[in-house]
């Protein structure tokens, strides 16, 4: 049996209580599923945030294989006051990865609960466990020749639908708003009870994955980006695989084109002429995902000058903004919509349309095309090689889908990033009526000065955007308390009241989204 070789303890837990809890975990899970040695825990410390690794270092990591074991874990945690941070696949890169939110928390890694419990090819639904990856689902669908299509985030192959949905992630297909497509959760509550949302509580019911609302209060959303329960099963809807998918790109030459692009896209998106979550990607994002590194153009510190960005744009045949969209349906449906898109673009009077035939076999078109047609890939990891050094934080403010809003957000973000010597590496994802403005704050973690600038930059982004009425929809664990403040005290009090009611011992992921009973709120 391995002995604890680290000196990390959970907050307010004594060494003897911790060791007693570890012994109980071993009885429950088997010694091989209780990791307490440094070497075993190093992979749980790989963070991309600027803070020291120590602040996100776990005291132990547990792997469970069943719902009953998860129930047992929370009962032991209650007994000894052990805070537990749950991850499903743990691949939430740039948001915290598999590291706990606070030093000393025990990570409950659900990677081994990886069964695809059910896929219904007629109703187009799925029910999965936390460790199921999109690649696993894709392989299952392909092997069984099911007429279904997946929607996923960019780290698709290794990420999973449960974790992504519970964190309200988005994808790039018509089903790209993943929480909207969620239908039925099973949760282990802090007291060990099992709660199923929607129709899941009705004995013998078979509508759990087809009807979301059930009866009375509908609580599904309350458990997302939250710490009120551990999700052990997730149901969701799958898109029927269309007979035709027609991915395409439109390249725009100038970064001042962003407002016009959004005004052009919005009516097509709202009317579902273009039904998928359209992406408008900036030049560095595009360059990095076709394997371009900053050092190939400059090794000078600081923000990359605009003239170099223009050179990259030219060398790599990119737009300053690159719009990716896809049409789906029968050949007749696609043809009609294609004509509408071409007509609207003609009316706009700018933008270079690129078809799949023209761009096939080239990056980044290929990986974008795959994302829009449900084929997992890992091409977007190229972002991490743009500047290198392992630092990445997603800054993700939302806005109305209006050109003027995007123009304003882009200019502000670029100005703040450049001021701190960092690059604007961003894209807009067009929701039905909103924009997810997703910016990867990339920096070099080996450089203490750059780490400090990245941290200051992220804080300033949050502050300046908030002053203009914008807030992010998701954030890494280092800044979660700060972002919670943006949404107001009343919301926080309600969230803490719920926490007190459901998890009075504060064992489930304290600090998640700023919810922690150790916070000094007057309730």
Partner 1 sequence: MDPKRRFLLKGMLASGAGSALLGGAGLAQAALDLDGRAPVPLVLLTACADVEASFGAGVWAALPRGGALSVLHGEGAGLLAEVTPLLGGGRKLRLVGMVDDATGELLVAQARRQGARMRWLGLHAADRRESRHSVVNGQGGQSALLALGEQLRQSSAGFALKSEQPFSRARDLSLAGLQNGALSADWAVHLGHALAAPGAPVDAAILPAAGARLQGRFVSFVIEV
* Interacting residue with partner 1 among 11, 19, 38, 505 (CB under 8 A): 38
> Does 245 contact partner 1 by CB under 8 A?
no
Nearest to 429 by CA among 322, 307, 333, 296: 322
Query: CA dist 148 to 207, 238, 328, 337, Å?
Result: 20, 6, 13, 22
Of 22-30, 75-83, 214-222, 446-454, which part binds partner 1 (CB under 8 A)?
Answer: 446-454
d(CA 44, CA 389): 18
Site for partner 1 in 264-323 (CB under 8 A): 293, 295, 299
We find the least distance from the C-beta atom of residue 135 to partner 1, in angstroms, to be: 10
Of 18-26, 32-40, 266-274, 419-427, which part binds partner 1 (CB under 8 A)?
Answer: 32-40
**Is 103 in contact with 80 (CB distance < 8 Å)?**
no
Of 222-230, 252-260, 376-384, 490-498, which part binds partner 1 (CB under 8 A)?
Answer: 376-384
Residue 377: how many CB atoms within 10 A of its CB?
18
| DSSP reduced 3-state for 113 | coil
> Does 261 contact partner 1 by CB under 8 A?
no
> Does 8 contact partner 1 by CB under 8 A?
yes
> Does 384 contact partner 1 by CB under 8 A?
yes
Check whether the bond before 368 is cis (ω within 30° of 0): no
Residue 440 pairs in a beta bridge with 394
Active site residue 293: no
Q: What token pair was written down for 514?
A: 């700023």
* Interacting residue with partner 1 among 256, 362, 400, 446 (CB under 8 A): 446
> Does 14 contact partner 1 by CB under 8 A?
no
Main-chain dihedrals φ then ψ at residue 252, nearest 5 degrees: -115, 140
Site for partner 1 in 84-113 (CB under 8 A): 89-91, 93, 97-98, 109, 111
Active site residue 352: no
88-101: string of b/e by CB count within 10 Å (b at 16+)? bbbbbbbbbbbbbb
Of 47-55, 116-124, 270-278, 336-344, which part binds partner 1 (CB under 8 A)?
Answer: 47-55
Degrees to nearest 5, angle at CA 136 with 133 and 141: 130
Q: Which is nearer to partner 1, 329 or 388 (CB)?
A: 388
d(CA 352, CA 346): 10
We find the least distance from the C-beta atom of residue 138 to partner 1, in angstroms, to be: 14
We find the least distance from the C-beta atom of residue 456 to partner 1, in angstroms, to be: 19
Q: Which position among 95, 138, 328, 384 bears the catalytic label?
A: 95
Nearest to 383 by CA among 430, 324, 425, 414: 425
Of 34-42, 268-276, 317-325, 328-336, which part binds partner 1 (CB under 8 A)?
Answer: 34-42
> Does 151 contact partner 1 by CB under 8 A?
no
**Is 441 in contact with 401 (CB distance < 8 Å)?**
no
d(CA 116, CA 150): 14
Residue 519: how many CB atoms within 10 A of its CB?
15
Q: Which is nearer to partner 1, 41 or 439 (CB)?
A: 41
> Does 3 contact partner 1 by CB under 8 A?
no
* Interacting residue with partner 1 among 86, 164, 304, 377 (CB under 8 A): 377
> Does 19 contact partner 1 by CB under 8 A?
no
Active site residue 487: no
**Is 166 in contact with 181 (CB distance < 8 Å)?**
no
We find the least distance from the C-beta atom of residue 310 to partner 1, in angstroms, to be: 24
d(CA 203, CA 172): 36
We find the least distance from the C-beta atom of residue 44 to partner 1, in angstroms, to be: 7
* Interacting residue with partner 1 among 21, 22, 29, 41 (CB under 8 A): 41
Q: What token pair was written down for 306?
A: 């605009």
> Does 434 contact partner 1 by CB under 8 A?
no
We find the least distance from the C-beta atom of residue 516 to partner 1, in angstroms, to be: 21
d(CA 271, CA 465): 30
Burial of 177 (0-12, 13-18, 19+ CB in 10 A): buried
Active site residues: 95, 473-474
Q: Which residues bind partner 1 (CB under 8 A)?
A: 5-8, 32, 35, 37-46, 52-54, 57, 63, 89-91, 93, 97-98, 109, 111, 157-158, 293, 295, 299, 377-379, 381-385, 387-390, 444-448
């Amino acid at each position: 049996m391995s002995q604890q070789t680290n000196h990390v303890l959970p907050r307010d837990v004594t060494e003897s209580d911790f060791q007693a809890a570890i012994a109980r975990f071993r009885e429950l899970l088997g010694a091989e599923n209780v990791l307490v040695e440094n070497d075993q825990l190093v992979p749980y410390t790989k963070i991309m945030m600027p803070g020291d690794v120590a602040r996100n270092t776990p005291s132990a990591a547990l792997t469970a294989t069943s719902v009953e074991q998860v129930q047992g874990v929370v009962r032991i945690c209650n007994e000894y006051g052990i805070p537990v941070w749950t991850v499903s696949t743990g691949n939430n890169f740039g948001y915290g990865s598999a590291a706990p939110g606070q030093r000393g928390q025990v990570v409950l890694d659900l990677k081994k609960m990886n069964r695809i419990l059910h896929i219904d090819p007629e109703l187009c639904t799925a029910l999965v466990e936390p460790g199921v990856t999109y690649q696993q689902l894709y392989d299952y669908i392909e092997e069984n020749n099911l007429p279904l299509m997946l929607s996923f985030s960019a780290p698709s192959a290794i990420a999973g639908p449960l974790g992504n949905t519970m964190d309200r992630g988005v994808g790039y297909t018509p089903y790209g708003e993943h929480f909207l497509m969620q239908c039925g959760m099973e949760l282990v509550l802090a007291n060990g009870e099992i709660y199923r949302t929607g129709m899941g509580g009705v004995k013998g019911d078979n509508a759990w994955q087809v009807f979301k609302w059930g009866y009375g209060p509908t609580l599904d959303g309350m458990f997302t980006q939250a710490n009120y329960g551990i999700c052990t099963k997730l149901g969701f809807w799958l898109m029927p695989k269309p007979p035709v998918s027609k991915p395409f790109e439109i390249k725009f030459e100038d970064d001042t084109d962003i407002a016009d692009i959004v005004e052009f896209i919005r009516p097509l998106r709202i009317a579902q002429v273009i039904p998928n979550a359209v992406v408008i990607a900036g030049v560095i994002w595009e360059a990095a995902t076709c394997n371009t590194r900053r050092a190939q153009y400059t090794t000078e510190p600081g923000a990359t000058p605009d003239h170099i960005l223009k050179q990259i744009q030219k060398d790599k045949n990119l737009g300053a903004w690159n719009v990716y969209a896809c049409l789906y349906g029968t050949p007749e449906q696609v043809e009609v919509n294609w004509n509408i898109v071409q007509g609207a673009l003609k009316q706009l009077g700018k933008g270079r349309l690129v078809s799949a035939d023209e761009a096939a076999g080239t990056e980044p078109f290929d990986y974008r095309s795959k994302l829009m047609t449900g084929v997992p890939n890992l091409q977007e990891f190229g972002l991490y090689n743009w500047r290198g050094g392992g630092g990445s934080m997603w800054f993700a403010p939302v806005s109305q889908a209006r050109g003027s809003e995007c123009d304003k957000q882009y200019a502000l973000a670029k100005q703040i990033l450049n001021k701190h010597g960092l690059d604007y590496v961003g894209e807009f994802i067009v929701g039905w009526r909103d924009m997810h403005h997703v910016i990867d704050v990339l920096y070099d973690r080996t450089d203490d000065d750059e780490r400090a600038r990245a941290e200051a930059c992220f804080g300033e982004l949050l502050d300046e955007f908030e002053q203009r009425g914008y807030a992010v929809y998701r954030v890494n664990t280092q800044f979660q308390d700060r972002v919670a403040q943006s949404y107001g005290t009343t919301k926080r009090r309600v969230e803490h009241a719920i926490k007190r009611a459901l998890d009075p011992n504060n064992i489930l992921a304290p600090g998640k989204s700023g919810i922690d009973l150790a916070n000094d709120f007057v309730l």
